Structures are given as structure tokens and as C-alpha cells.
Amino acid sequence: MGGCMTKEPVTSLNPVWHQFSDGLYVKLAQEKLIKLACEALKKAGSKAAVERTTGWGRHQVARVLNGKQVSLRISNLKSLLSYLHKNPMNIKYLPITCRTALSQSRLPGLRYSLNPYLGCEHGCIYCYSRSIFRDRQLALNWGKFVKAKQNIQEVLTQELKRKPKGTIGLSTVTDPYQPLESKLQLTRKCLEILSAHDFPVSIQTKSNLVLRDVDLIEPGKFDVGVTITTMDEDLTSKIEPRSPRPDARTQVLEEFASRGVETWLFLGPIIPEVNDCKESLEQVVEVAKKTGSKLMYDKLNLRRWVLESIAPFIEGERPGLVEQLPALLNLKSGWWLEISSMVKTLCAGQSVRCEPAFPT
């Protein structure tokens, strides 16, 4: 055990892209690459737009990042095309109304959960939020629909007046900064309301869109956690198909740490034979070290529908492993004891504070 997947060779094309809910925007600096990408995207039947680096988005990028560019990288044209093929952008968006905003949380350290969206476009194949559904089709469709709680601000405002104080987790079942948020800004509106109240807020995301809200996320009241399962972009695109790349997530930790906001890194899920080798774990621990973030780690959680969701990927990459997963993922399995001990040792070696995400 402890073997990571092999990396595919990369070429020298380096497009920079941004994904928003209404499409994929590729930004390329050179005319030649723009032409290449346009042809490739057309061939792939994609409606994505290709733009020059100058112009689009530059002002916004400069404003939120104080001069540093927010960029997500796809290392080559092949990865870009593979991304587009897997992500035809046919996500269903639905506005809904909610009756409650803050729900009781059973997660360690949190009193409440606040989820402005139901469903998550990031579509991670291991996501166990799908287990909330009894219906198999709905569960396996996770990642293809997003319901936006359009009245969440009003409900939250009322609830904050009467609920006892306690830490709010934003979000716990979905990513609060998934692509639709760039348009609807429900998370931002919630943060504006929360800024005026005395409830600590713990944000967890995989997206650098959170950097848009640096003006609201102040040290002391807020902490920001970012999930990084691997620093391997190619693997990320396979298991977290519509999530921002790992280097963009690292930028989030760097930026908030530099502003004095408490940051933490969630290393998980650790999946046998996928992202559990020493080199991979080391790279993530290095990010925690570099950004002064606490590291929390967890293994793959096989709640309802998860095995079925992840099985085609595992079977394609590691034939025969699917059947072994339930035993390997037992809390007392030799694999998990070995991996958790390795994470702790790596963290101790780098003086990174470290703990299991779900202490037993």
C-alpha cells in the first residue's frame, strides 16, 4: 500500500483558465496558443470562450488579490480537452426557498451549519454529501445539479436574533464558493450579515473564489480551511473534476495567512493507492508548513452511495481494489494505522500542527 498513481507526461502549453457558472474562460497570452485552443475547443464542441490575458477580468483580479494574480493552471492542452469532455457544463441550476438557514451541526468544533446551496458543482467522485439522499439516481447525480436558497439572507437574519451563540460552519454539505456563487453571491450576502453579529465563522472550500470576500473575512472572527487531496493536477481533475486546481487553493491559504486570518488545511480524503504515497502526502504537508496552517486529515468515508460513485474510477486505475476498500477503510485497519502514522510523522518533521479531522 502507499502507492500513488503515476503522472502523465506534460507538454509546454500553459493556458490559464477561470471557470464561472456560465462557462469556462481560457486566458492565453500568446496569439499562437489562442488559435490552437480555439481550434481544439471547437473540435471538442465546447462553448467555452477563449480570451487574451489582457482585458477580461484583470481589474477584478488586481482588486481582490492586491496585485497577485489569481490563476488556475491546466498544464497542457490534453488536460484542457479532457476537462471539457468530462464537464459539458450541463449542470441544472434551480432557485429554491428555505425555511431554516442554520442547522445543528454534529461536526467537531461547530455548533451550526450554513449551506447556501444544495448540491455541489465541484462534483468530487468521493463526496459523501450524496449520502443524504435515499434515491439512488439523485445521489449518483451529485455534482450535476445545484439548488440555490434564494431567501437565505432573510432567514439567516431572523435566526441570528434568537439562536444561542456558537461557531457556524460555512458550508458543511456543499462548497460555499462553487461556480454559481460568482453569479448569485449568496455566500457573500450571508457573510455580510454575519459580519455584524457575534458568531465565529469557519469557512471551508476548495475554491479561490473565496478571495473575492477578503474584505469581509477578518482575522479573529473567521477562520478559513481549504481542502487539498493532492498537489497532482491531473489526479485532481479526475477525482474533483470541476474544482479549482491545487495551486489555486494554496494561494487561498497564502493570502489569508498573510492577512492574519487563521488558516487550516484539510488533507482528505486519503484514498488507498490513489493519494496515499509518502511523496503525495509530503507535498500537501509542505503547503501547510509554507502557509502556517494547521493540518487535519481523514480517510475516504464509505457512506451510502460513495463506493458506487468511486468504483468506476478505482476499477479503471487499480483493478481489484474496489473489493478491498471496505476492509482497508476500517478505522483499525493496518493501512489506516500506517497512513495516519505517516501523516503525523511528516507533520512533526515540519513542525506542522496536525490532528485527525474526526477524532475517535
By the criterion CB under 6 A, which residues form the site for ligand SF4?
Answer: 120, 122-124, 127, 129, 143, 174-175, 206, 240, 243
Cβ count near 280 (within 10 Å): 22
CB 165 to ligand SF4: min, Å:
26
Q: Which is nearer to ligand SF4, 52 or 183 (CB)?
A: 183
Query: At 14, is the secondary structure helix, strand, or coil?
Result: coil
Tell me the closest approach of the beta carbon of residue 23 to ligand SF4, in angstroms: 20
Residue 25, beta-bridge partner list = 18, 49
C-alpha distances out from residue 332 to 76, 126, 307, 344, Å: 41, 21, 19, 16
DSSP 173: S
Identify which of residues 33 and 138 has a Cβ nearer to ligand SF4 in the complex.
138
The CA–CA distances, whole Å, from 80 to 15, 242, 327 equal 8, 12, 36
Nearest CB to ligand SF4, comparing residues 15 and 143: 143
C-alpha cell at 174: 456543499
Alpha carbon distance 12, 5 (integer Å):
22
For the bound state, the minimum distance from the C-beta of residue 249 to ligand SF4, rounded and expressed in Å, comes to: 11
Closest contact distance (angstroms) between CB of 130 and ligand SF4 is 8
* CB nearer ligand SF4, residue 15 or residue 268: 268
DSSP for 145-163 reads: EEEEETTHHHHHHHHHHHS
Q: At what angle do helices 246-258 and 278-291 cross, to 10 degrees?
A: 30
Shortest CB 205 distance to ligand SF4, Å: 8
Shortest Å, Cβ 185 to ligand SF4: 18
Residue 305 CA: distances (Å) to CA of 46, 77, 237, 293, 357: 30, 33, 21, 32, 22
Nearer to ligand SF4, 76 or 208 (CB): 208
**Residue whose CB is less far from ligand SF4, 19 or 76:** 19
